[in-house]
Structure 1
Amino acid sequence: MDSTTAAPFDNLSAFERAVERARAAAEAYFGGETPLMPDGDYDRLVAGIAASTRLNPHWNDRGVATAVAAGTSGGDVRHATPMLSLDKITTTAELQQFVHTLNTCMAVVEAKFDGMACHIDYRDGRLVRAVTRGDGAAGDDITHQVTREPGIAGLPQELPHPWTGSVRGEIFMSTNDFERANAARTASGKSPFVNARNAVAGSIRKLDRAYSVPMSFAAYAISGSGLEDVDSHLERMAHARLSGITTAAMLTAGALPAGTLIYGHRAEDLQRAVDTLGDLRPRLDFPIDGAVIKADSRVVRTRLGSHSSAPRWATAYKFAPDTGYSILRDIEVSVGRTGRAGFRAVIDPVTVAGTTIRYASLHNADWIAQQRLGIGSRVSVVRAGDVIPRVIAAAGEQQEDVVPWIPPTRCPQCDQPWERSGQLWYCTVPTCSLAALLTDAASRDVLDIDGLGEEVAAALVEAELVRDLADLYTLTVDQIAEVSYVRAGTTVGRRIGVTTAAKLVAGIAAAKERPLARHITSLGIRGIGHRMGRTLAQHFGTLDALRSATIDDLAAVDGVATITACWIRTRLYDVEAVLDRLIAVGITTVHDTTTPASQGSLAGKRVVITGAIPAMTRTQAQEAAERLGATSAASVTTKTDLLIVGAGSSARRKLAKANELGIPTMSAEDFLALHAEAVST
Structure 2
Amino acid sequence: MTARQLDRQAAEQRIVKLRDLINDYRYHYHVLDESIMSEAAADSLKHELSQLEEQFPDLITPDSPTQRVAGKALSKFAKVQHQTRMISLQDVFDRAEVAAWIQRMHKVRSDITEEFLCDIKMDGLACALIYEDGVLTRAVTRGDGLVGEDVTMNVRTIQNVPLTLRANQRFAHFLRGRTEIRGEIVMHKEDFAALNQRRRATGQPEFANPRNLAAGTIRQLDPKLVAERPLHFVGYDIIRDNLEDTPTIAFGYQMMNELGITTSRQTQIVYGLDEVMSYVNHLDELRQSLQFNTDGAVIKLNDRRQFAQLGIVGKTPRAAVAYKFAAEEATTVVRDIVISIGRTGAATPVAVFDPVVVAGTTVQHASLHNADEIARLDVRRGDTVVIFKAGDIIPQVQTVLKELREADSKSIDYPAELARQYPELAFVRPEGEAVYRVKGLSGPLILKRSLAHFASKGALDIDTLGEKNVEALVEAGLVNDLADIYRLTKDDLLKLERFAEISAQKLIDAIAAKKQPALERFLFGLGIRHVGAQTAIDLTNHFKSIKKLLVATIDELREVDGVGEIVAESIVAWFADEDNVTLLEKFADLGVTPQFTKKSGSLTGQSFVITGTLQSMGRDAAAERIRELGGTFQTAVAKDTTYLVAGGKVGASKLKKAEQYGTKIIDEQTLLELIQ
- TM category (shorter chain) comes to 0.3 to 0.5
TM-score, normalized by length of structure 1?
0.40
Higher fraction of helix: 2
TM-score, normalized by length of structure 2?
0.40
- Pick the structure with greater CA Rg: 2
